[in-house]
């Protein structure tokens, strides 16, 4: 891939240009597009155009995806310098594409450029938050980007009013993207996804922390089981939380509350690391699973996985 900006790609009969904003109008478009991406009710939930300008001109990374010939913004990445525990890193606060252009590779290309620019600036790590119950985000982050997760927060942002988060506590994983690590290089530079089938995973005899039954085509979390006796732990989440919310918000909240103690136990207390993710369709219903591993982080960042010795790893 030619990593140079502006970068053009064809989507149907349209051309999408990924580039850094350069005019006040560009930044205003990137403020406006946030409302469409996240279904925000008004600008009180958005990062303002002047904050985008200030961040971009003072060490941040701001990228836009612009449709040609209309010139409208269809995607944004907003990243700021950050500091924690004596280390500098970058924090990616916004990354999204409008609904009509999702799942076409635009978001991945924007993240690749974000990584490239961060490396040029001298960084080793980019962090961001995401909802651990969003299966598509989990697959993208862990399998396609190579992030790991070691920290879970309850209600990280408080109450948000956008369409995705309205009515739900904002529980979040902290995604850690070690952009120079062999793990990430293999996935990004060699375009090699790392995952495994659920059947092969079971051969490793992991601890299954969630007991799920399917009733009326809905996943019901019956109970959870906490144990640190095994080095591999599997945690199931809803395959499509957004569709489930439309049908049964109370069921989604039940998942949210029950999984809190599971995530807190394994990530915040026992030191397991989310290193893999599986998503599959079973009898017409999507099911998704986190794979947690109790291993030294350096081993994981070198590109090792719990299933390294299993023949027949797969990319669902």
Largest CA distance in the chain: 58
Cis peptide upstream of residue 291 (ω within 30 degrees of 0): no
Burial class (CB in 10 A: 0-12, 13-18, 19+), 22: exposed
Sorted by where each begins, the domain ranges of the chain are: 7-189, 198-301
CATH fold of the domain at 7-189 = Aminopeptidase (3.40.630)
pLDDT of residue 309: 81
pLDDT at 313: 47
pLDDT tens-place values along the chain, 316 residues long: 567 999 999 998 899 999 999 999 999 999 999 999 999 999 999 999 999 999 999 999 999 999 999 999 999 999 999 999 999 999 999 999 999 999 999 999 999 999 999 999 999 999 999 999 999 999 999 999 999 999 999 999 999 888 888 889 999 999 999 999 999 999 999 877 788 999 999 999 999 999 999 999 999 999 999 999 999 999 999 999 999 999 999 999 999 999 999 999 999 999 999 999 999 999 889 999 999 999 999 999 999 999 998 754 454 4
pLDDT value at residue 192 = 78
pTM of the model: 0.95
- Scored b (16 or more CB within 10 A) or e, 176-214 reads bbbbebebbbbbbeeeeebbbbbebbeebebbbbbebee
pLDDT of residue 1: 57
Alpha helices in 135-215 (DSSP H): 135-138, 182-189, 198-202
């Amino acid at each position: 891939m030619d990593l140079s900006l502006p970068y053009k790609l064809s989507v149907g009969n349209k051309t999408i240009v990924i580039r850094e904003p350069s005019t006040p109008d560009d930044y205003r478009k990137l403020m406006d597009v946030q409302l469409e991406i996240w279904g925000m009710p008004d600008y009180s939930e958005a990062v303002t155009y002047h904050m985008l300008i200030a961040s971009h001109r003072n060490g941040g990374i701001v990228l836009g995806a612009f449709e040609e010939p209309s010139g409208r913004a269809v995607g944004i990445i907003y990243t700021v310098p950050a500091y924690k525990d004596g280390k500098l890193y970058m924090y990616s606060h916004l990354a999204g594409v409008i609904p009509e252009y999702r799942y076409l590779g635009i978001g991945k290309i924007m993240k690749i450029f974000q990584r490239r620019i961060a490396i040029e600036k001298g960084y080793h790590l980019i962090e961001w938050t995401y909802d651990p119950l969003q299966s598509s985000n989990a697959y993208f982050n862990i399998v396609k980007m190579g992030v790991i997760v070691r920290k879970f927060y309850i209600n990280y942002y408080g109450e948000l009013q956008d369409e995705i988060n309205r009515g739900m506590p904002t529980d979040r994983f902290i995604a850690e993207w070690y952009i120079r690590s062999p793990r990430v290089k293999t996935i990004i530079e060699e375009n090699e996804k790392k995952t495994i089938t659920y059947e092969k995973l079971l051969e490793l005899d992991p601890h299954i922390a969630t007991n799920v039954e399917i009733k009326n085509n809905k996943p019901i979390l019956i109970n959870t089981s906490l144990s640190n006796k095994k080095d591999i732990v599997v945690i199931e989440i809803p395959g499509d939380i957004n569709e489930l919310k439309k049908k049964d918000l109370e069921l989604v909240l039940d998942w949210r509350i029950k999984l809190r103690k599971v995530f807190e136990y394994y990530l915040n207390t026992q030191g397991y690391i989310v290193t893999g993710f599986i998503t599959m369709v079973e009898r017409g219903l999507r099911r998704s699973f986190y794979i947690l591993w109790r291993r030294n982080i350096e081993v994981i960042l070198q590109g090792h996985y719990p299933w390294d010795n299993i023949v027949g790893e797969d990319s669902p």
